[in-house]
């Protein structure tokens, strides 16, 4: 219900839809932690 939670969910959905090249760039921006999951 919080606006921040909605923005976070939207951001995650956007990252999932990005092409692999842009996903790699997003991973570099967000940090090494995401590289372990992906």
Residue owning tokens 């959905």: 13
Q: Tell me the C-alpha distance between 27 and 5, whole Å.
A: 20
Q: How far from the centroid of its chain's Cα atoms is residue 37's Cα?
A: 12
Q: What is the DSSP letter of 19?
A: -
Q: Given this model, what pLDDT does residue 3 score?
A: 83
Q: Please state the domain count of the chain.
A: 1
Chain segment 1-38, per-residue pLDDT in tens: 678 898 998 888 887 777 665 555 555 555 556 555 55
pTM score > 0.75 for this model? no
- The domain in which residue 33 lies consists of 3-37
């Amino acid at each position: 219900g919080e606006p921040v939670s909605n923005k976070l969910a939207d951001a995650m959905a956007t990252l999932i839809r990005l092409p692999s090249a842009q996903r790699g760039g997003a991973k570099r921006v967000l940090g090494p932690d995401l590289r372990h999951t992906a």
